[in-house]
Amino acid sequence: MAAYIPCMPRFTHPRLDDVPLDLALHALADENRLGMVARLAAAERLSCTDAAPCDTIPKSTLSNHLKLLRAAGLIQTTQAGREMINTLRRAEFDQRFPGLLAAVLANRPA
């Protein structure tokens, strides 16, 4: 019989109802994070490295960006083997803040 080992989840994700508008806007108010969200909106799922705004970004900075995006209810990070996979919580975010992400992404410079 396999032993049951309780463990804390690796990442925590807020309920969208608990995310205030100013926190969501703060998460989006950064060129790098906005680029990451745009990339995640285009792809279905991205590893942390693939979601990174550039190759030279320090790992701690990338971690912090991902943490802020998670806290704003924008992304979900799950562990898949040795990789961390990120997905956009698009449907949930759109339900909480209708039209907001679409307006932000539409106004992002190409």
User: How near is the Cβ of 104 to a copy of itself at its closest, in Å?
Assistant: 7
Q: Are 88 and 107 in contact (CB under 8 A)?
A: no
Binding residues among 14-33 for a copy of itself as defined by CB under 8 A? 20-23, 25-26, 28-31
Q: Are 52 and 40 in contact (CB under 8 A)?
A: no
| 75 makes contact with a copy of itself (CB under 8 A) | no
| 34 makes contact with a copy of itself (CB under 8 A) | yes
| 98 makes contact with a copy of itself (CB under 8 A) | yes
- Give the interface size with a copy of itself as a residue count (CB under 8 A): 22
| 42 makes contact with a copy of itself (CB under 8 A) | no
C-alpha distances (whole Å) from 95 to each of 11, 76, 84, 91 are 22, 16, 25, 6
* CB neighbourhood size of 46 (10 A): 19
